[in-house]
């Protein structure tokens, strides 16, 4: 076999995609592409029923309070969901001010997505989507729960077709792999926290917080070089 043929074969392998290969996503810095959505529930003492869901602010470093994340140059911070509205709907006593007693449970979702009809979603059909992330700091107490998730909806968002999660209760490297149907609705990946609402801005750190490392997406050329050298490394817990 000639050296020319071997070289040509090696180049062809580098540029030829493998069918049904995993797609790997991670946490990128900056707010671009990230979305916030809040589901609000009654407290367990009031029956725990669903109240409403709504789009939500995502960057409290820019807006101060009532947002889901704090976006830094190389990390995303999460903390307790907060409100600065003293209405009895949100607080049963003590508002406005530190120590107010929350009257609603907040399920805060921070995510990116492959939307319906998008080329990216179509290419994921029948494939595995892997979401890797690293938690650099974890101080949440038992009043807050945090999971990383990959979720696939039906086309009308009426229900969740399937979901894969990983509970997060410490620092470390985490990974979720989810088999994507891809013929239904939107696929989202990101983070979900649940806590009883606290008064913002005074109590946003009362239950601790989390710092998640953010890494710029490599260029396609860099990915090609790493793949050719067999050096692509994925973080897993």
SS (H, E, C) 81-145: CEECCCCCCCEEECCCCCCCEECEEEEEEEEEEECCCCHHHHHHCCCEEEEEEEEEEECCCCCCE
Q: What is the pLDDT along the chain (237 residues), one digit of tens a residue?
A: 554 444 444 444 444 444 445 899 999 999 999 999 999 999 999 999 999 999 999 999 887 688 999 999 999 999 999 999 999 999 999 999 999 999 999 999 999 999 877 778 878 888 999 999 999 999 999 999 999 999 999 888 888 999 999 999 999 999 999 999 877 789 999 999 999 999 998 999 999 999 999 998 764 334 444 444 444 444 443
112 CB neighbour count, 10 Å cutoff = 16
Question: Which residue range is the domain that position 98 belongs to?
Answer: 20-229
Is 2 inside any structural domain? no
- Cis peptide bond N-terminal to 149, omega within 30: no
pLDDT on residue 123: 83
Q: What is the DSSP letter of 183?
A: S
Whose structure tokens read 């050719």? Answer: 228
The number of domains in the chain is 1
What is the longest distance spanned by two Cα atoms in the chain?
81
Q: What pLDDT, on the 0 to 100 scale, is given for residue 26? A: 96
pLDDT at 235: 41
In a domain, 9, yes or no: no
Please check whether residue 35 is in contact with residue 58, taking contact to mean a CB–CB distance below 8 angstroms. yes
Q: Is residue 12 part of a domain?
A: no
Radius of gyration, CA atoms only, the chain:
21
Q: What is the rounded CA–CA span in Å between residue 86 and residue 8? A: 69
Residue 13 belongs to a domain: no
Specify whether the CB–CB gap between 203 and 99 falls below 8 A: yes
Residue 3 lies in a domain: no
In a domain, 15, yes or no: no
DSSP state at residue 205: T
**Would you say the pTM of this structure is higher than 0.85?**
no
The string of pLDDT tens digits covering residues 51-63 is: 999 999 999 988 7
Note the pLDDT of residue 180. Answer: 92
Asked whether residue 8 is domain-assigned, the answer is: no
| 11 assigned to some structural domain | no
Here the tokens at position 203 are: 């109590």
């Amino acid at each position: 076999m000639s050296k020319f043929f071997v070289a040509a074969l090696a180049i062809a392998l580098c540029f030829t995609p493998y069918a049904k290969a995993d797609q790997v996503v991670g946490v990128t810095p900056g707010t671009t592409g990230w979305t916030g959505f809040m589901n609000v529930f009654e407290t367990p003492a009031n029956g725990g029923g669903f109240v409403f869901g709504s789009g939500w602010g995502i960057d409290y470093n820019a807006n101060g309070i009532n947002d889901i994340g704090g976006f830094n140059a190389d990390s995303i911070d999460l903390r307790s969901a907060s409100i600065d509205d003293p209405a009895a709907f949100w607080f049963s006593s003590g508002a406005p001010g530190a120590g107010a007693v929350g009257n609603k449970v907040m399920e805060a979702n921070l995510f990116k997505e492959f939307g319906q009809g998008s080329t990216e979603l179509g290419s994921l059909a029948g494939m595995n989507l892997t979401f890797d992330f690293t938690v650099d700091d974890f101080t949440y107490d038992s009043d807050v729960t945090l999971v990383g998730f990959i979720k696939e909806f039906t086309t009308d968002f009426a229900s969740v077709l399937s979901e894969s999660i990983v509970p997060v209760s410490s620092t470390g490297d985490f990974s979720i792999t989810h088999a994507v149907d891809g013929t239904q609705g939107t696929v989202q990946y990101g983070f979900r926290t649940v806590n009883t609402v606290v008064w913002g801005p005074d109590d946003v750190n009362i239950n601790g917080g989390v710092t998640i490392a953010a890494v710029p997406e490599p260029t396609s050329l860099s990915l090609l070089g790493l793949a050719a050298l067999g050096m692509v490394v994925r973080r897993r817990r």
